[in-house]
Structure 1
Amino acid sequence: MEQSFNTRAMIFTIYGDYIRHYGNVIWIGSLIRLLEAFGHNEQSVRAAVSRMSRQGWIQAERIGNKSYYALTERGKARMEEASRRIYKSEAEEWDGKWRILVYTIPEEKRHVRDELRKELTWSGFGLLANSCWITPNPLEKQVHTLIDQYEIATHVSFFTAVHEGMQSSQDLVRQCWDLTEVNDRYAQFVETYSQKYIHDKSRVQRNDLSDEQCFVKCALLVHQYRKFLFVDPSLPHELLPEEWLGDSAATLFNDYYQLLAERATRFFETVFSQAEIPNTVQFSD
C-alpha cells in the first residue's frame, strides 16, 4: 500500500482527475472504495466530504438510502483552473503587461482578507508591497470572480499596466517570488520521479502492475505535482531564470501520467460503475 495522504486533499485530486469527467457526481460508497486504495477509512472519507461540503466545494443529495456528492459551481471552476495549469502544454506568450490588484479591506473583515491572500497566491499573484499584488498573466476573469465571491468591490482597485522601471522585469520577479526555492522543488521532483518512472515503466512492460496499483500511483503522481500550483506562479518564459526545471518536470509528469493513465482509468471505471448514478439526482447551487 502506498503512503497515506490527507484524505481531503486526495478527494480533491480524484474529483479533479476523474469524477469531473464522469458527470461530477459520485456515490459515497464508490468514493470510500477509491480512498481505501490509499489507506483511508470510511470515517475519514465521510468527515472530509462533510468539511468540503461546508466549505462550498461539493454538495450532497440523498436518494433512498444512498448519498451522492457533486462539485458545486465553485468547485467546478477550481478544478477547471487547476487542470488547465497542470496539463498545459507550454506557457503563453507574454503581452508585456502587468495586472495589479490593490485592496483596503477593513479590519472587521480580516477573515476575508486572509482568504483573499490565499486565493491570490494560488492564482499566481506575487506580493509587491503591502496589499498590492501583481501578475504578468491575464487573470482578469479570476480577479472578478474573487471580487464577486467575497463581495469586496468597494475595497479593491484593479489595473493593467506597463512596467516603466526603475528595476528590470526580472528584478521585479525576484522581489515578488522566490523562484530559486520553486526550482529546487522541481529538481527534487525530477530526481525522485524519474527513478520511479523508469522502475514503473519496466513493471508495466512486464504486466507486473494491477489496475488498482496504477490508479494509486497515478493519483499520487497528480497529487504531488498539483502542489506546484501553490508555489509556482506560472510565469511566462521571458520572466523565468536560466536553467528553469519546470519544463523538465512537466515533461516527466506527462510521460509518467500517460504510462499509468489507461489502467488507472479502468480501475476507476470499475469502482464507479458499481453504483450507477440515478437520473433523479439533481444538483443546483
Structure 2
Amino acid sequence: MTDSTHTGGRTERPEIPTRLVVHSLVRKDGTVDADQLYDVAYLLGMSETQIRLCVKRLVAEGRFTQEGRGRRATLRALTDVTGSLAPDAAYVRHAYRQDAGHSPWDGTWHLFAFAVPESRRTARDTLREHLLHLGAASIQNGLYVAANPVAEVVEAHARHLGVIDTLTCLTTADLRIGDTDEPRALAAALWPLTEIARKHDHLAAFTEGCLARLTEEPALSGAERLTMAVELAAHFTTAMKPDPLLPPELLPRPWSGARARSLAATCWNHLRQTSPDGTDTPLLFALYSDALLSTHEKGPS
C-alpha cells in the first residue's frame, strides 16, 4: 500500500481491505461494476489479482454473485453490506452535537463494576469490550467509568449476556483517583487523548489535501472521486473508532477531533454534490451523507 499523496506530503494511510473496496462500490441497486472496481482498486495501489481473489472469496461465501468475467462482470450483493461501510449514525451524530456545544456535560461520572466468574469468561470479556466500545475507561480490575450516560445500554447488554446480576451501576460528581479529582486531569489520565488526537490530526491532514485537490482539479474522474470517498471513509473510521467522545469540557482546547470532523463533513459534502444521484450512486455516499451531514448541517433537532 502506497502512502497517501492527497496532502502533497506523506500522511499515515489506514489499511483498506480489498473486500471493503468491493462493499464501498455497491450501488443502490445492489450491483458492483467490475470495470469501476478495478479502476478504483488500481488507484488505491491494489493489483487486479488481489481483486479477483477477493471477488472469488466473496462469491464462495455467498455474499455476492457474479455475472460475466473480468472487467465486463457485474457483481450483485446477496447480503447487506451497510454495516461494513459507515459508522454508527447515532454515534456520529452525537459527536457533531458535542462539537457544536449541543450536549453539555452535567458533571456526572457513570461507573460500572462487575465480577463475572471465570466460568463465564466469554460473557465477562464481551461485557468489558462493550464498555470500552461505549467509551468507558478502566479504573481498576472490574471497575469502569464513562463520562456519557450509557447505563441503559450497558444494562441491556449485561441482561442479554445473562450477567445482569453481577453488574453494579452508580453515578457520582465526586470522582477521585489517587490525588487527582479535577475532571480534565482525570480524563487525561484515564483516556489516551494524545493518541486519539494524533489519529484525528491524520484525518484532518488527509481531508485538507482532498479539499485542495477538489478545488484545484474540478475535472477529477468518477473513479478518482470514488477512490477519494473510499479513503475518506477509511480515515474517518480509523480516527473515530478509538474516540470515546468525551464531552468538550473534559478535552484539551482546541480539540483536534472537532476540527477533523468539521473538515470531513465539508469534504463529504463536496463529494456528494459532484456525484450523480441515481441507481449508479454507491450506497457509501448515502450512508455517510446521513451519518456525517445531518447534524453538521442542521444543528440540533
CA distance in 2, matches of 1:46, 1:220: 23
CA distance in 2, matches of 1:148, 1:114: 14
Superposition deviation, residue 257 in structure 1:
1.0
CA distance in 1, matches of 2:189, 2:140: 10
Residues 114 and 50 (structure 1), Cα distance of their counterparts in 2 relative to 1, 3 Å cut: farther
2:202 partner letter: Q
User: How big is each residue's C-alpha offset from its partner over 1:79-123, in whole Å with a ceiling of 9 and x where there is no partner?
Assistant: 334443565563511121111111212223323333333332222
Residues 6 and 265 (structure 1), Cα distance of their counterparts in 2 relative to 1, 3 Å cut: farther
Q: For the Cα contact (< 8 Å) 1:10–1:223, is it kept in 2?
A: no
The corresponding residue for 1:111 is: 122
Q: For the Cα contact (< 8 Å) 2:86–2:233, is it kept in 1?
A: no
CA distance in 1, matches of 2:122, 2:18: 25
- 1:262 maps to 2:273: yes
CA distance in 2, matches of 1:78, 1:150: 24
Q: For the Cα contact (< 8 Å) 2:137–2:146, is it kept in 1?
A: yes
Q: For the Cα contact (< 8 Å) 2:109–2:173, is it kept in 1?
A: yes
1:190 partner letter: A
Correspondences of 1:132-143 after superposition (within 5 Å): 132-143=143-154
1:126 partner letter: A
Q: Which runs of 4+ in 1 moved over 4 A?
A: 1-4, 8-12, 31-36, 45-51, 74-78, 85-89
SS in 2 for 1:191: helix
CA distance in 2, matches of 1:93, 1:150: 32
SS in 2 for 1:69: coil
The corresponding residue for 1:180 is: 194
Q: For the Cα contact (< 8 Å) 1:136–1:236, is it kept in 2?
A: yes
SS in 2 for 1:41: helix
- 1:156 maps to 2:158: no
Correspondences of 1:65-80 after superposition (within 5 Å): 68-70=78-80, 79-80=88-89
Aligned length: 250
The corresponding residue for 2:139 is: 128
Superposition deviation, residue 240 in structure 1:
0.6
Q: For the Cα contact (< 8 Å) 1:116–1:146, is it kept in 2?
A: yes
- What value does the CA root-mean-square deviation take over the aligned residues? 3.9
SS in 2 for 1:100: strand
TM-score by length of structure 2 reads 0.66
The corresponding residue for 1:44 is: 54
1:134 partner letter: V
The corresponding residue for 1:279 is: none
CA distance in 2, matches of 1:33, 1:83: 32
Q: For the Cα contact (< 8 Å) 1:128–1:175, is it kept in 2?
A: no
CA distance in 2, matches of 1:239, 1:228: 18
CA distance in 2, matches of 1:11, 1:149: 33
- 1:100 maps to 2:111: yes
CA distance in 2, matches of 1:93, 1:148: 29
171, 190, 194: which one aligns with 2:204:
190
Superposition deviation, residue 253 in structure 1:
0.8
- Among the aligned pairs, what percent are the same residue? 20
Superposition deviation, residue 48 in structure 1:
6.1
CA distance in 1, matches of 2:171, 2:80: 36
Superposition deviation, residue 42 in structure 1:
5.3
CA distance in 1, matches of 2:52, 2:126: 30
Residues 120 and 43 (structure 1), Cα distance of their counterparts in 2 relative to 1, 3 Å cut: farther
1:202 partner letter: E
The corresponding residue for 1:217 is: 228
Q: For the Cα contact (< 8 Å) 2:20–2:85, is it kept in 1?
A: no
SS in 2 for 1:101: strand
Q: For the Cα contact (< 8 Å) 2:210–2:228, is it kept in 1?
A: no
Give the gaps of 5 or more residues in structure 2.
5-14, 66-75, 284-301
Superposition deviation, residue 221 in structure 1:
0.4
SS in 2 for 1:99: strand
TM-score by length of structure 1 reads 0.70
CA distance in 1, matches of 2:155, 2:59: 28
1:270 partner letter: D
CA distance in 1, matches of 2:282, 2:237: 23
CA distance in 2, matches of 1:253, 1:126: 27
Give the gaps of 5 or more residues in structure 1.
54-59, 274-285
Residues 7 and 146 (structure 1), Cα distance of their counterparts in 2 relative to 1, 3 Å cut: farther
1:246 partner letter: G
1:69 partner letter: T
